[in-house]
């Protein structure tokens, strides 16, 4: 008998709302994020509207990982990259990554969630296996993507130097 | 302040063969240009420079000094009409408080209008037309920073939009920013002019002592007592095909924000011309002006001068318009001085020419760069109203700067990123 779909999905949603392994455990308010990064109210508004920051929909929308990401972006600005060019790059990156993220979630549903549903012995078993899979896969996927973009950047920089 | 020399300067205008592309005839050195659809004036050398001061009276003082010089000249011409005889090229700073305005009578001016061509020489032996020069290899342009960080500009836009939403009397402020570039070779104004003119043939391509650009906006044209102005404000992108193009135009026609911006700009021109003219008329509804990269709402305003004011004087009365400064003008000027953290120089100031009869044409120096040796300064601005989102205004100025960068280095004008979601406006 297939596991209860609603039940599993509730568990997944709950797992996604909790900090995941590898995600900064500390949850922050909007004000705390601004305070710790020195981000002005204007830039914070812009970063949210542009989709550069993806807040959770609650009173503690950010984490200490967001602090690190904002500080990294500010380091790029301080290094001399104009804000307008950084925003344009981020917009293109966001557009490309959105499509890839959708496909990755689709893969998770098709090749991980569906088989668990078809083989689980009980609702509890199904929910637990899905949450375990999610908690293993999210940081793994993030690590793969981060590693790849890092390698791509280095390769592009090398190619540029060789060209000159 | 007198500009009269002790010896009388001889000015000769001779009929000339059609020179083809006027811009291709410009020799090396200091050049001047005002060309649209192949017609207009180009000039080079410097026969005389009228000093231009600062302050509220700078336009009348410059006009008086220039008219003194014109009156003392001994003019001999084979053909007449606007632009024949001695001609001065003017490029005035945006802010009356800042120095850097230029009013120069070139040594040689070549003109074409309505199928007639002429060459005017000021002093010395009669000039002959130089051979056309081939376009040089494009120069690589490198980024050299900006007068103020873009983050500060973004915050200034946010602050101004907030002030407009919550307090009076500000309705609109045009905020500009710059981008500095350098090149290994000295930057030549002439190929930049030719590329601008080829790409924007419907715009007035201008050059005046290092300032080079192309503007779709006519501040004033004067012929005798007739004056006209073409006001542009409110913009939409060009579509990839006819249907998309028309859709963007229809959205522009419906846009409340663009219509408000447009009506403020037309209102400011009508108000000034009403003080100088009889029979001031503005088109009831704006028409659509399509340029290669953008379409604008445009309104033609005409009038008949009550007194024989020179085109330069009328330009001075109209400047600064809501389109480059804001509404109300005095408050907007104050915010610009506080928030831009840079000197606009001649960017967004009147640029054009005037002849001894007072006829002439002036535009506003938008879509332009200030070139000096191996260095250049590019400018772009955006009209900020209460509904403005700072990141979209920043993106608008990025795209405008990109268009000018590509004219400087002869690269295709397409922006690097597809991320732009807002069309450039005329500023």
Catalytic annotation, residues of B: 172, 217
Q: What is the CATH number of the domain that holds A93?
A: 1.10.1660.10
- Report the distance separating Cα B112 and Cα B202, nearest Å: 16
In three-state secondary structure terms, A118 is helix
Nearest residue on chain A to B145, judged by CA atoms?
A: A80
In this prediction, residue B4 carries a pLDDT of 47
Output the pLDDT for position B416. Answer: 38
Query: What is the mean predicted confidence (pLDDT) over A51-55?
Result: 87
What pLDDT was estimated at residue B425? 59
Query: Per residue in B326-339, pLDDT tens?
Result: 989 999 999 999 99
Contacts of B155 in chain A (CB under 8 A): 40, 42-43
The band of B418, judged by pLDDT with boundaries at 50, 70 and 90, is very low
The label of the residue with tokens 């001999």 reads: B76
Asked if residue A1 is part of any domain, the answer here is no
Band of pLDDT at residue A26, cut at 50, 70 and 90: confident
Whether the per-residue pLDDT at B204 is higher than 90: the answer is: yes
pLDDT mean over B188-215 = 93
Look at residue A51 and tell me if it is in a domain: yes
Domain presence at residue A36 = yes
Let me know if residue A2 belongs to a domain: no
B395: chain A residues, CB-CB within 8 Å: 84, 87-88
Taking the Cβ of residue A77 and every Cβ of chain B, the question of whether any pair is shorter than 8 Å is answered with yes
Contact B214, B205 (CB under 8 A): yes
Enter the tokens of residue B25: 């005839």
Q: Quote the pTM value.
A: 0.86
Query: Would you say residue A12 lies in a domain?
Result: yes
Helices (H), B139-234: 150-166, 189-199
Tell me what the pLDDT averaged over chain B comes to.
Answer: 91
Pick from B391, B416, B417: CB nearest A49:
B391
Amino acid B177: pLDDT: 97
Label residue B51 by pLDDT band (50, 70, 90): very high
Q: Give residue A73's domain range.
A: 7-163
- What average pLDDT does this structure show over B97-113? 97
Of B149, B158, B417, the CB nearest to A88: B417
In a domain, A68, yes or no: yes
Chain B contact probe: residue of A82, A89, A95 with most B CBs at under 10 A: A82
Inter-chain touch B145–A91, beta carbons under 8 Å: no
pLDDT digit string (tens) for B214-227? 998 899 999 999 99
Reported as a pLDDT band with limits 50, 70 and 90, residue B419 is very low
Residue B9 has pLDDT above 90, yes or no: yes
Cβ-defined contact of B417 to A42 (cutoff 8 Å): no
Q: What is the pLDDT of residues B25-34, one digit of tens each?
A: 999 999 999 9
Distance CA B284, CA B38 (A): 30
Higher pLDDT, B71 or A135: B71
Whether ipTM exceeds 0.95: no
Q: Is B84's pLDDT higher than 80? A: yes
Q: What is the DSSP string of A36-65?
A: HHT--HHHHHHHHHTTSS---SSS--EEHH
CB contact under 8 A, B417 and A49: no
- Does A46 contact B390 at a Cβ distance shorter than 8 Å? yes
Looking at the structure of chain A, the number of domains it has is 1
Burial A77-94 (b: 16+ CB within 10 A, else e): eeeeebbbbebbebbeee
From the list A40, A49, A91, which residue is nearest B417 (CB)?
Answer: A91
Q: What is the predicted pLDDT for the residue at A20?
A: 58
CA dihedral for A107, A109, A110, A114, sign (positive or negative) = positive
The closest alpha carbon to B164, from B332, B330, B329, B323, belongs to B332
Q: State the pLDDT at residue A19.
A: 62
């Amino acid at each position: 008998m297939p596991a209860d779909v609603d039940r599993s999905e509730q568990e997944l949603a709950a797992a996604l709302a909790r900090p995941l392994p590898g995600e900064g455990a500390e949850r922050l308010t909007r004000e705390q994020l601004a305070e710790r990064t020195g981000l002005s109210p204007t830039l914070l508004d812009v970063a949210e509207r542009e989709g550069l920051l993806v807040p959770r929909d609650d009173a503690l929308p950010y984490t200490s990982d967001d602090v690190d990401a904002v500080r990294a972006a500010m380091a790029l600005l301080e290094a001399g990259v104009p804000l307008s060019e950084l925003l344009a790059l981020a917009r293109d990156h966001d557009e490309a990554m959105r499509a890839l993220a959708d496909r990755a979630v689709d893969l998770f549903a098709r090749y991980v969630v569906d088989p668990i549903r078809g083989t689980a012995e009980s609702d509890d078993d199904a929910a637990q296996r899905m949450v375990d899979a999610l908690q293993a896969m999210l940081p793994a996927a993030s690590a793969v993507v981060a590693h790849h973009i890092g390698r791509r950047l280095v390769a592009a920089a090398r190619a540029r130097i060789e060209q000159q | 302040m007198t500009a009269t020399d002790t010896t009388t300067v001889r000015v000769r205008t001779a009929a000339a063969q059609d020179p083809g592309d006027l811009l291709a005839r410009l020799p090396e050195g200091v050049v001047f240009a005002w060309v649209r659809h192949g017609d207009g004036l180009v000039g080079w050398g410097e026969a005389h420079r009228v000093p231009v001061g600062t302050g509220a009276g700078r336009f009348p003082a410059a006009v008086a000094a220039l008219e003194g010089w014109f009156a003392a000249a001994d003019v001999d011409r084979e053909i007449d009409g606007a632009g024949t005889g001695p001609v001065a090229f003017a490029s005035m700073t945006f802010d009356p408080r800042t120095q850097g305005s230029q009013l120069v009578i070139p040594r040689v001016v070549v003109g074409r209008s309505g199928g007639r061509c002429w060459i005017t020489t000021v002093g010395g032996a009669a000039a002959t037309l130089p051979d056309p020069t081939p376009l040089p290899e494009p120069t690589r342009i490198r980024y050299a920073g900006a007068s103020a960080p873009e983050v500060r500009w973004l915050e200034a836009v946010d602050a101004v939009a907030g002030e407009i939403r919550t307090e009076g009397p500000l309705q609109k402020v045009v905020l500009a920013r710059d981008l500095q570039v350098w090149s290994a070779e000295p930057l030549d104004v002439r190929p930049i002019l030719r590329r601008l003119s080829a790409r924007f043939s419907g715009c007035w391509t201008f050059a005046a002592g290092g300032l080079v650009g192309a503007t779709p906006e006519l501040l004033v044209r004067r012929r005798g007592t007739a004056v006209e102005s073409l006001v542009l404000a409110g913009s939409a992108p060009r579509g990839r095909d006819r249907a998309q193009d028309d859709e963007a135009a229809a959205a522009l026609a419906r846009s409340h924000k663009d219509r408000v911006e447009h009506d403020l700009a037309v209102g400011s021109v009508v108000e000034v011309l009403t003080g100088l003219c009889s029979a001031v008329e503005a088109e009831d509804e704006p028409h659509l002006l399509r340029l290669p990269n953008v379409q604008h709402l445009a309104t033609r305003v005409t009038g008949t001068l009550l007194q024989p004011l020179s085109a330069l004087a009328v330009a001075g009365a109209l400047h600064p318009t809501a389109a480059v400064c804001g509404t109300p003008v005095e408050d907007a000027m104050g915010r610009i001085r506080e928030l831009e953290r840079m000197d606009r120089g001649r960017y967004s100031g009147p640029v054009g020419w005037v002849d001894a009869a007072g006829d002439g044409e002036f535009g506003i120096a938008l879509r332009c760069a200030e070139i000096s040796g191996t260095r250049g300064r590019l400018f772009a601005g955006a009209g900020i109203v209460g509904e403005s989102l700072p990141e979209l205004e920043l993106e608008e100025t990025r795209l405008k700067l990109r268009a000018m960068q590509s004219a400087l280095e002869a690269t295709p004008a397409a922006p690097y990123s597809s991320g732009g979601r807002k069309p450039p406006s005329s500023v």
